[in-house]
């Protein structure tokens, strides 16, 4: 009897040890993993103007930036051909892309001295006058798997008032920009330069109508 009890005790002990080890292994297996997602922002690239904007520098009302439907997604996009794009799910914009482009445009136009102020869409107080309305449509904003930068935007500048009149327009499609095809940080930096080229073109348009 003692031998039988001893055998049962050993069996119970071994079983309990196996169950505990299995439970611990299961706990280790289900431990949460760190999130590999990284977030990126566009940045203003225009140097600060040597002098502050003139007192008569125009005030611009920037309408909401319009994006082609496929680039409204949060992930950074890499183009692999005319008909294939890749959404990099673990590399995302830290803000909606249309808001990032609008933010950089506002900062760049003021830094260049081209505008005294740029009013964001939806933030214009009724008692603040503005001189021109700026409409921007972005048709491409991604990197190519081959290292190219695909950015294309059209813009229109119209007078303020009940019967606005278009006074300038342009299209920007910089072709000299490149990235390494791997680093999303490098891609965000080059796309920032592309938005800078857009603001430079808008600034030239403003200069032509405010001479």
State whether 4 and 81 are in the same domain.
no
Residue 46: predicted pLDDT: 80
Closest C-alpha to 182, from 149, 148, 147:
147
pLDDT tens for 91-112 read 999 999 999 999 999 999 999 9
The percentage of the chain sitting over the pLDDT mark of 70, rounded to a whole number, equals 78
Same domain, 8 and 47: no
Same domain assignment for residues 164 and 187: yes
48 & 24 share domain: no
Do residue 24 and residue 69 come from a single domain? no
Q: Where residue 151 sits, what CATH number does that domain have?
A: 3.40.50.10610
Using CB atoms within 10 Å of the CB of residue 155, give its burial: 0 to 12 exposed, 13 to 18 middle, 19+ buried: buried
Same domain as 112, residue 14:
no
As a whole number of angstroms, the longest Cα–Cα distance in the chain is: 110
**The pairing of beta strand 166-172 with beta strand 117-119:** unpaired
DSSP three-state, residue 80 = strand
* Distance in angstroms (rounded) separating the CA atoms of residues 51 and 76: 36
Helices vs strands, H then E, count in the chain: 3, 9
pLDDT band at residue 211 under the 50/70/90 scheme: confident
Whether residues 45 and 23 share a domain: the answer is no
Strands (E), 1-74: 38-40, 59-62, 66-67
**Whole-angstrom distance, CA of residue 149 vs CA of residue 181:** 10
- Neighbouring residues of 10: CB distance < 8 A, sequence distance ≥ 6: none
Its domain, for residue 63, covers 38-209
Q: Which two tokens stand for residue 86?
A: 């890749």
- pLDDT of 192 reads 98
Number of domains into which the chain is organized: 2
Whether 150 and 179 map to the same domain: the answer is yes
The reply to whether 163 and 109 lie within a common domain is: yes
Same domain flag for 76 and 16 = no
Q: For 13-53, write each residue's pLDDT tens digit.
A: 545 554 555 545 555 555 677 889 999 999 998 876 545 55
Is beta strand 149-159 parallel, antiparallel or unpaired with respect to 66-67? unpaired
Q: Facing residues of 135 across strands? A: 156
Same domain, residue pair 42 and 27: no
Give the predicted TM-score (pTM) of the model.
0.81
Distance, CA of 167 to CA of 15 (rounded, Å): 85
Say if residue 11 is in the same domain as residue 89. no
């Amino acid at each position: 009897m003692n031998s039988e009890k001893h055998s049962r005790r050993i069996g119970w002990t071994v079983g309990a040890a196996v169950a505990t080890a299995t439970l611990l292994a299961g706990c280790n297996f289900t431990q949460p993993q760190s999130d590999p997602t990284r977030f990126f922002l566009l940045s203003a690239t225009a140097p600060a103007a040597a002098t502050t904007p003139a007192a008569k520098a125009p005030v611009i009302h920037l309408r909401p930036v319009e994006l082609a439907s496929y680039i409204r997604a949060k992930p950074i996009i890499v183009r692999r051909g005319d008909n294939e794009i890749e959404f990099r799910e673990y590399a995302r914009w830290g803000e909606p892309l249309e808001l990032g482009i609008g933010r950089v445009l506002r900062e760049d136009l003021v830094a260049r001295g081209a505008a005294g102020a740029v009013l964001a869409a939806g933030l214009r107080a009724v008692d603040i006058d503005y001189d021109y309305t700026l409409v921007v449509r972005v048709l491409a904003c991604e990197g190519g798997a081959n290292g190219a930068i695909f950015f294309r935007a059209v813009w229109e500048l119209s007078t303020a008032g009940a019967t606005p009149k278009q006074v300038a327009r342009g299209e920007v499609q910089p072709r000299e920009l490149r990235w390494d095809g791997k680093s999303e940080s490098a891609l965000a930096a080059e796309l920032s330069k592309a938005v800078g080229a857009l603001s430079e073109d808008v600034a030239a348009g403003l200069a032509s109508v405010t001479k």
